[in-house]
Protein backbone atom coordinates (compact mmCIF):
# COMPACT_ATOMS: atom_id res chain seq x y z
CA UNK A 1 0.00 0.00 0.00
CA UNK A 2 1.40 3.39 -0.92
CA UNK A 3 -0.59 5.14 1.83
CA UNK A 4 -0.69 3.99 5.45
CA UNK A 5 -2.42 5.57 8.39
CA UNK A 6 -1.69 5.32 12.06
CA UNK A 7 -3.67 6.69 15.00
CA UNK A 8 -2.08 7.71 18.28
CA UNK A 9 -3.28 5.80 21.36
CA UNK A 10 -5.54 8.64 22.49
CA UNK A 11 -6.98 8.84 18.98
CA UNK A 12 -6.25 12.56 18.68
CA UNK A 13 -3.44 12.35 16.15
CA UNK A 14 -3.75 10.73 12.75
CA UNK A 15 -0.50 10.06 10.87
CA UNK A 16 -0.70 9.53 7.13
CA UNK A 17 2.37 8.08 5.51
CA UNK A 18 2.80 8.31 1.74
CA UNK A 19 5.19 5.95 0.09
CA UNK A 20 6.78 6.64 -3.28
CA UNK A 21 5.27 9.26 -5.53
CA UNK A 22 2.70 11.68 -4.15
CA UNK A 23 0.77 12.75 -7.23
CA UNK A 24 -2.71 12.57 -8.76
CA UNK A 25 -2.69 8.77 -8.66
CA UNK A 26 -2.82 8.80 -4.86
CA UNK A 27 -5.68 11.28 -4.70
CA UNK A 28 -8.46 8.91 -3.73
CA UNK A 29 -6.35 6.93 -1.26
CA UNK A 30 -5.14 10.12 0.37
CA UNK A 31 -8.66 11.47 0.72
CA UNK A 32 -9.90 8.19 2.19
CA UNK A 33 -7.03 8.22 4.63
CA UNK A 34 -8.17 11.39 6.38
CA UNK A 35 -11.90 11.24 5.86
CA UNK A 36 -12.56 7.84 7.36
CA UNK A 37 -13.36 7.29 11.01
CA UNK A 38 -11.77 10.42 12.43
CA UNK A 39 -14.26 12.00 14.86
CA UNK A 40 -11.67 12.37 17.61
CA UNK A 41 -8.78 13.48 15.47
CA UNK A 42 -7.47 16.91 16.41
CA UNK A 43 -4.16 16.85 14.65
CA UNK A 44 -2.96 15.44 11.34
CA UNK A 45 0.60 14.42 10.61
CA UNK A 46 1.65 13.77 7.04
CA UNK A 47 4.76 11.63 7.14
CA UNK A 48 6.73 12.20 3.93
CA UNK A 49 9.74 10.10 4.93
CA UNK A 50 9.02 7.56 2.20
CA UNK A 51 7.84 10.10 -0.35
CA UNK A 52 10.19 10.38 -3.28
CA UNK A 53 8.40 13.01 -5.31
CA UNK A 54 5.58 15.46 -4.92
CA UNK A 55 3.88 17.38 -7.70
CA UNK A 56 1.50 20.29 -7.90
CA UNK A 57 -1.61 18.14 -7.66
CA UNK A 58 -0.30 16.80 -4.35
CA UNK A 59 -0.01 20.39 -3.18
CA UNK A 60 -3.70 20.77 -4.01
CA UNK A 61 -4.50 17.64 -2.03
CA UNK A 62 -2.63 18.97 1.00
CA UNK A 63 -4.74 22.13 0.77
CA UNK A 64 -7.88 20.00 0.64
CA UNK A 65 -6.77 18.30 3.83
CA UNK A 66 -6.10 21.68 5.39
CA UNK A 67 -9.60 22.93 4.66
CA UNK A 68 -11.07 19.62 5.79
CA UNK A 69 -9.21 19.95 9.09
CA UNK A 70 -10.54 23.43 9.72
CA UNK A 71 -8.73 25.82 7.37
CA UNK A 72 -6.67 28.40 9.21
CA UNK A 73 -7.33 26.62 12.50
CA UNK A 74 -6.13 23.28 11.18
CA UNK A 75 -3.32 21.51 12.96
CA UNK A 76 -1.32 19.76 10.28
CA UNK A 77 2.30 18.81 10.39
CA UNK A 78 4.31 17.74 7.36
CA UNK A 79 7.36 15.86 8.50
CA UNK A 80 10.47 14.01 7.35
CA UNK A 81 10.49 15.33 3.82
CA UNK A 82 13.55 14.83 1.68
CA UNK A 83 15.40 17.71 0.04
CA UNK A 84 13.53 17.57 -3.24
CA UNK A 85 10.10 17.43 -1.64
CA UNK A 86 11.00 20.16 0.79
CA UNK A 87 12.16 22.38 -2.02
CA UNK A 88 8.79 22.07 -3.77
CA UNK A 89 6.98 22.91 -0.53
CA UNK A 90 9.26 25.88 0.08
CA UNK A 91 8.92 27.29 -3.41
CA UNK A 92 5.15 27.11 -3.04
CA UNK A 93 5.36 28.93 0.31
CA UNK A 94 3.65 26.08 2.11
CA UNK A 95 5.58 26.95 5.27
CA UNK A 96 3.01 29.71 5.73
CA UNK A 97 0.16 27.22 5.71
CA UNK A 98 1.60 24.10 7.33
CA UNK A 99 4.02 23.25 10.04
CA UNK A 100 6.89 21.61 8.17
CA UNK A 101 9.37 19.63 10.21
Partner 1 sequence: MTDSKPLRILIADDSDSDRLILKTLMKRLGHQVRATANGSEAVAIFPEYLPDVVLLDVMMPVMDGITAAREIKAMAGEELVPVIFLTSLTDAGALARCLDAGGDDFLTKPYNKIIIQAKLGAFNRMRQMHKTLSQQRDLIRERNRQLLEEQQLAKRVFDNIAHTGCLNADNIRHHVSPMSIFNGDILFACPRPAGGMHILIGDFTGHGLPAAIGALPIAEIFYGMTSMGFSGNDVLREVNDKLGRILPTGMFCCAAMIQADFHLNQLRIWNGGLPDVVLLRKGGPRELVPSRHLPLGVLDSARFDATMELFHTSAGDTLLMMTDGVLEAENEQAERYGEGRLKQALDTAPAGEPPIDTVLGAIRSFTGEQSGHDDLTLVSLDMVVASDFHESAERLPQSALKGPAQWHCVYEVRDDTLAQFSPLPLLLHICMEVPGLRRKSADIYTLLSELYTNALEHGVLGLSSDLKTSPDGFSYYYSERERRLEQVSGHYIRFTLTHSMTRKGGKLIITCEDSGQGFDHSSQITTGAADESGNANIKYSGRGLLLMQKLGHSLRYSEYGSRAEIVYDWELAIKQPGGWS
Contact positions vs partner 1 (CB under 8 A): 19-20, 24, 27-28, 31, 49-50, 52-53, 55-57, 59-61, 63-64, 66-68, 71-72, 80, 82-84, 86-88, 90-93, 96-97
Of 27 and 75, the one with the shorter C-beta distance to partner 1 is 27
Q: In whole angstroms, how close is the CB of 67 to partner 1 at the nearest point?
A: 8
Phi and psi at residue 2, to the nearest 5°: -75, -20
Q: In whole angstroms, how close is the CB of 27 to partner 1 at the nearest point?
A: 5
Phi and psi at residue 50, to the nearest 5°: -105, 10
Cβ-Cβ contacts under 8 Å for 5 (sequence gap 6 or more): 14, 15, 16, 17, 33, 34
Q: In whole angstroms, how close is the CB of 93 to partner 1 at the nearest point?
A: 4
Give CA–CA dist 96/6, Å, rounded: 26
Of 8 and 57, the one with the shorter C-beta distance to partner 1 is 57
- The CA-based diameter of the chain, rounded to the nearest angstrom, is 35
Amino acid sequence: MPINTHRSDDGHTLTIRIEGRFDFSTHQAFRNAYEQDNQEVKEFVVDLSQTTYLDSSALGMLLLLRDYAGGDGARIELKNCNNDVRRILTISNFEQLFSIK
